[in-house]
Amino acid sequence: MRLRLSGEVIKDDLVKRVEDLSGQNIAMCYQCGRCSAGCPVADEMDILPNEAIRLLQLGQIEEVLDSKTIWICASCLQCSSRCPRGVEFSSICDALRAIVLRRRITTPSVDAGDVSRVMRTDAPQMGVVGALRKLNG
């Protein structure tokens, strides 16, 4: 992948919005990778948590917004419990999902079929509500 970087690209307004929404300082991350190492669902992600943060640091937010990663996060917060720099990747994921949900009606990862699939399970109420909460920004 080839990135063309400039000061303007890196100072992306939408990344600032992610920082505001998540309450996180993305520049704090120094890429140690403990978030990705501890993440129980990292195997399923197309972009690892530390990679996603690096992309945000470089202003490449659209790539992260289009990723599967932000929908796979189960909000277990293991990443933030192990981050030596106090960055909560789960909160960043919530902010990124909010941006997607607030500006588009559907995404490749979210469709109405999801809702009916969720409703058909015999899972406890908390699981159904929790999963559907991912779809409201």
Q: How far apart are CA 124 and CA 137, in angstroms?
A: 23
**Site mask, another protein, residues 39-68, x = CB under 8 A?**
-xx-xx------------------------
Return all residues near 66 (Cβ < 8 A) that are at least 6 apart. Answer: 108
User: Considering only residues 5, 10, 11, 20, which one is a binding residue for another protein as defined by CB under 8 A?
Assistant: 20
Does position 133 interact with another protein (CB under 8 A)? The reply is yes
Residues paired with 110 in a beta bridge: 107
Q: How far apart are CA 64 and CA 88, in angstroms?
A: 16
- To which residue do tokens 């809702």 refer? 115
Does position 35 interact with another protein (CB under 8 A)? The reply is no
Q: Which residues bind another protein (CB under 8 A)?
A: 20-23, 40-41, 43-44, 71-72, 74-78, 80-81, 88, 90-91, 93-95, 98, 114, 117-118, 121, 123-131, 133-134, 136
